Amino acid sequence: MILLSHALRYNAKESTAGLQKIATALGLRQAPPTIASVTSAVGEVTRGLGVPDNLRSVGIEPTDLPEIVRHAMDDWALTRVPRSVTAEDALQILTAAL
């Protein structure tokens, strides 16, 4: 959940239909929705659930990121995303979430 808004931003250009579905589910009326409005709404939901909003708050430090990327690149979930992810992309997403 911590990475959700960051992943949405990364995939936004490749998944406008999915972004619309998320916006509708969150009750956003703006058409077409902007990535900013969707990530803001997602942030409100996750904060309301008590989900931390950054990786540092769960003990992740910048020095941990290369190892996390190595493990993430072997995760089957990365084959199911709208936009392919390189190790460099993953590192940028994780760095933004710190």
What span, in angstroms and rounded, lies between the C-alpha atoms of 12 and 82? 9
Pairwise pLDDT comparison (79 vs 45), residue with the higher score:
45
Q: What is the pLDDT of residue 30?
A: 79
Going from the N-terminus, what domains does the chain have, and what CATH number goes with each?
A: 4-97 (1.20.1090.10)
Distance of CA 85 to the CA centre of its chain: 12
For 22-71, what is each residue's pLDDT tens digit?
A: 999 999 987 888 999 999 999 999 999 999 999 999 999 999 999 999 99
Residue tagged 């703006």 (tokens): 30
Q: Record the tokens describing residue 65, joined without a space.
A: 């990121």
